[in-house]
Structure 1
Amino acid sequence: MNNLVVMKNQQAVTSSLQVAEVFGKNHQHILEAIDNLTVENSTVKSMFVEGKYENSRGREYRQVYMNRDGFTLLAMGFTGKKAMRFKLQYIEAFNQMEHQIQTGGFQIPHTMADALRLAADQADQIELMKPKVLFADSVATSKTTILIGELAKVLRGNGIDIGATRLFQWMRAKGYLISRKGTDWNMPTQKSMDLGLFKIKETSISHSDGSITVSKTTKVTGKGQQYFINKFLAIKS
């Protein structure tokens, strides 16, 4: 479960979209809960900041960033064993990010010597990470979509022992693909589309009787490829 907490404006935060995904809740319900918190007590407004995200169709939707206090208030209403486990993981993620900020992971140099030393250290780290970063960035921004079966091959190339059939099963079980039998079986769920993980390719097929049917194929976006690779590598580790 990578990137539960990120750095934004020199503060450790998470987003409503991330919280909805981790806790398995409807994103709109999370937004409504945040709105209720800020309406009931205006003093908590500073814990939440409005933001936007773009889905696979290029449409912008609302999301909200929150700091540790905002997340704590929001998560108070989440119950159950799984919810408790996720809360603890979030607390640990906030602790790690805030520790980095306090101990220099995101330090601001105060002298020219400190600035030069920090620049040299960062250059070394960037050079070491360069192949991985270039791969991740190129995949995330790629316009090329691939089939789920092809994603299974990419995962195997990254040391994940999984085939196409098991990958489909995993995606259905985790709520990325629709599991109910019918015409939309194995189509992306709304959550997956909102996250920009998939695109649906539609192909018109002409039949000898003159009728035309439309075939729909689920394809993984560049962002989705990076997302699932990171997901499985995190599970593996």
Structure 2
Amino acid sequence: MTAITTPVAVPTMSSCEIADLTGKRHADVMRDIRTMMLALEQNAELRSVCISSTYAGENGQEYPQYLLDKDTSLTLLLGYDPVARMKVVKRWQELEAQQAPAVPQTMAQALRLAADQAEQIEQQAEQLALAAPKVEYVDRYVAANGAKGFRQVAKLLGANEHEFRAWLQDEKIMYRLGGEWVAYQQHIDAGRFVVRAGVATRNDHAFNATRFTPKGVTWVAGEWGKHLAAKAQGCEVQP
């Protein structure tokens, strides 16, 4: 499967990879992550990193997944068997070895490395503050039992309604039709929106209300996070 990840400044491991390494069902790993994050929510100073994202399945459809930093993923593994834990630990060692910087050979190289690291720390702080909402905040509402309107989703993401609506239109996610905001058909087909028809009791006017499904809220949270992260870096997300 091909991961479609939300840009973050720290190394992460996806829930899909954790499932592959541990031999567990991805749905069970996702459930374990949600349970863990609800507990960690009471200790914000721990600064756990868990971000909603999506991946493309073999059928081309997008499905939710989570991205965890090292500390958060190893905390998750405390409830798993030793073999599963060791496999993930070894994988983290491989990831860290790939990112290990070369040892500077000259004073100029050392100074350049120090400057780069200082800049990277500043970018990490900014990106993590603006990245997609953490899973505990999104899932608390998404796991509920119904679709959500535009204003509910904007409030959930902490987004300015005008900016959020303009972004949805620019990204060809929603558009205005006959005074109503509707989703593009490909997003309805993907299960991100549901259209509910009704009749206003006051004037018998028929209408169609487009609502985000729980899957759609999770997906749009990841895409909005990409937009904010790119905006913070002064660039646009490439399709």
Normalising by the smaller structure, the TM-score range is 0.3 to 0.5
Structure with the bigger RCO (C-alpha within 8 Å, sep 6+) is 2
TM-score, L = length of structure 2: 0.39
